[in-house]
Amino acid sequence: MKVAALAHRMPALLAAPPAASGRLCLTNARLLDGTRTEVLIEDGRIGLGSSEGARVIDLEGKTLLPGLVDAHIHLYARTPEPAQGAEPILDGTPHHFLQARLRDYLRFGVTTVRDVGAQGMQPQEARQAMRYGAFRGPRVLTCAKIISATAPGGRFYGTMYREADGPDDVRKAVREQIRMGADFVKVMTTGSRSNELEDPEPAQLTDAEFAALVDEAHRLGVRVAAHVEGLPGTQAAIAHGMDTIEHGMYLNQRPDLLERMAANGQFLVPTLSGYYWMAGLAGDVIDPEGADADPDLTPMLVELARYNLEQGAESMRAAREAGVKIALGTDGGETAVELLRMIHHGLSPADALLAATRTGAEALGVDEQVGTIEPGKLADLVVVDGDPLAEPELLRDRDRIWLVLQLGEPVAGAALERRPD
């Protein structure tokens, strides 16, 4: 069973900053298919009709894209480690680093992100600050806490997990996350191999627990994202109708599961960048062959990450061939780098851009609001200097992200940054 998100109560949509007022016309815009057009924006949404009387921005043939969507990030503050003897990090300092991270996403044209597990209520707090104008960042969907069985992972990941055992406790855990402002529910169908104690092969929950979780989430109108590694958990997530399959690196070994995903309309979020990080490959590496590694994890986990990257890339290609919808998710790192890695490992630039726009919005259940350039949708738009189908690497170039609009308001981009020289 797949559910449409309830836009009237989705916290990520309710927490939007004020939309731009009035009328704005983007003229001489180049779309990805090469056509030239003009786009009218009225009170934060893409409109129809005459541009007479509207404020005009001439894009001079630059490419106009929907705002990018990153469907899998972990949104928490990455604070520096002070040198020995330096002042310790103060309690409120991490919030500023989280703000800087969100501002950076927006600067590179990412207007919607989905947080799939963080510490405390950092995503909800940042979202509330953006709602009331403290700073500009992307729209944030969050799962609040990840629902997991009592398992070793609960020892490794701080306050990220809500452990639950038995169908009734699982239902209660779903309700708790919605109470805390969740837009969707995330469940650990298997363990995670970013720690050395979990075995991702067995499913973490029983069929009765999975059924209770999915039934309660869908009954309350929210989607379910499934952390999936080993094949028993993968099969359970697909069989129980979970909406997005996160990672799913061994799906290539079970073509029948990919066929079922395609028939069900379930989405795959491959998260190649997560394997790059676990293997110790730098954030700007695209081709892993022969690249120098500097891993943080234990040798056993690094070796597994290399294997998982190979398998995950093969599963992404197999999913494409099976007709499974693919959404872009970084699992950390730059959204544009994940897009380039997806291309390197077998997607066309057009397919990768779809994964980062239309299909990403569909996976999150916000496709009625964002993801394409259509009348009635929110004017979350990106203007880039060049053709990202021919040069997808331009999405990493700060100077070529010319303008980012959020709800029709120009909020970031090179056009707004006047340098002294």
Which pLDDT value is given to residue 108?
98
Give the helix/strand (H/E) hosting 242: none
For 264-297, the pLDDT digits (tens) are: 999 999 999 999 999 999 899 999 999 999 999 9
pLDDT of residue 4 exceeding 80: no
pLDDT at 2: 52
Task: Judge whether 222 and 366 are in contact, CB under 8 Å.
Answer: no
Report CA-CA distances (Å) from 134 to 17, 378, 379, 410: 10, 21, 21, 16
pLDDT at 3: 56
Both tokens assigned to 137:
């960042």
> Is the CB of residue 10 less than 8 Å from the CB of residue 369?
no
Q: Which of 138, 146, 241 is nearest to 184 (CA)?
A: 146
Region 36-65: mean pLDDT is: 93
Which tokens sit at 394? 């331009």
Task: Specify the pLDDT at position 421.
Answer: 61
The H-or-E segment that residue 413 falls in is none
Gyration radius from the chain CA atoms: 21
pLDDT at 387: 97
The pLDDT > 70 percentage for the chain reads: 98
Whole-number Å distance between alpha carbons of 364 and 359: 9
The reported pLDDT for the residue numbered 78 is 85
Summarize pLDDT for 141-151 with one digit per residue, the tens.
Answer: 999 999 999 99
The span from the CA of 117 to the CA of 73, in Å, is: 8
Residues 99-128 pLDDT 10s: 999 999 999 999 999 999 999 999 999 999
Mean pLDDT (whole number) for 199-224: 96
Per-residue pLDDT reduced to its tens digit, 369-391: 999 999 999 999 999 999 999 99
User: What region does 26 belong to: left with phi over 0, alpha with psi -120 to 50, or beta?
Assistant: beta
Contacts of 91 (CB under 8 A, 6+ apart): none
pLDDT value at position 77?
Answer: 85
Q: What is the pLDDT of residue 1?
A: 45
Going by their DSSP bridges, the two strands 45-46 and 23-30 should be labelled as: unpaired
- 63-67, 237-241, 267-271, 414-418: segment of lowest average pLDDT: 414-418
Predicted confidence (pLDDT) at residue 48 exceeds the cutoff of 90: no
pLDDT tens digits, one per residue of 52-64 = 889 999 999 999 9
- Rounded to an integer, the average pLDDT of 148-165 is 94
Q: Does the structure show a pLDDT above 70 at 6?
A: no
Residue bearing the bigger pLDDT, 200 or 420: 200
The whole-angstrom separation of Cα 231 and Cα 247 is 11
Mean pLDDT of the chain: 95
pLDDT at 332: 82
Q: What is the pLDDT of residue 9?
A: 78
